[in-house]
């Protein structure tokens, strides 16, 4: 296991810094800066009051909270949302309500999680033929239902 340091700024000092529920959890909770309601099949872009400096060689992934998904059908529209290492603006989350009922959120409530993951620099090499793979060209549904 290794540790990295991620600098962050609280743009809204009344909200807590990103937190984890348990030591060793991968996701850091992000909170909403405002009260809002999300109607069935509705979407909203919500600020978190946090800006981060993801180190070069890493990326931030904004993912749904499993409890909100299971209980209310709330997800992240572009889940995961991608935060590149060069971005310094506020983290904003695009939520969607897949459920049948309106869901209300209160300022400071946890709405998503942030994962910081390695993102290697890639050198693309164009070739005429690719090496053989175990699956070949077998795609969607090739391993059964």
Taking CA atoms, 32 is separated from 28, 38, 108, 124, in Å, by 13, 13, 5, 39
Asked if residues 48 and 19 have their Cβ atoms less than 8 Å apart, the reply is: no
CA separation for the pair 47, 45 (Å, rounded): 7
Residue 72 phi, psi (nearest 5)? -130, -5
User: What span, in angstroms and rounded, lies between the C-alpha atoms of 61 and 83?
Assistant: 6
- With cut-offs at 50, 70 and 90, classify the pLDDT of residue 144: low
Q: What structural domains does the chain harbor?
A: 7-118 (2.70.40.10)
pLDDT digits (tens, 9 = 90+) for 71-122: 999 999 998 999 999 999 999 999 999 999 999 999 999 999 999 999 999 9
* Span 23-58, pLDDT tens digits: 989 999 999 999 999 999 999 999 999 999 999 999
pLDDT, one tens digit per residue, over 33-42 is 999 999 999 9
Q: What's the pTM value of the predicted model, to 2 decimals?
A: 0.88
């Amino acid at each position: 296991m290794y540790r990295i340091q991620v600098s962050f700024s609280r743009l809204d000092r009344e909200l807590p810094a990103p937190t984890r529920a348990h030591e060793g959890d991968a996701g850091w909770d992000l909170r909403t800066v405002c009260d809002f309601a999300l109607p069935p099949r509705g979407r909203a872009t919500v600020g978190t009051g946090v800006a981060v400096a993801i180190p070069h060689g890493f990326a931030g992934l904004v993912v749904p909270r499993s409890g909100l998904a299971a209980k209310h059908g709330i997800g992240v529209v572009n889940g995961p949302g991608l935060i590149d290492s060069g971005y310094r603006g506020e983290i904003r989350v695009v939520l969607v309500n897949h459920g049948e009922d309106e869901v209300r959120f209160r300022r400071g409530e946890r709405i998503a999680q942030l994962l910081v993951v390695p993102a290697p620099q890639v050198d693309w090499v164009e070739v005429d033929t690719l090496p053989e793979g175990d699956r070949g060209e077998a795609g969607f549904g090739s391993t059964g239902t």
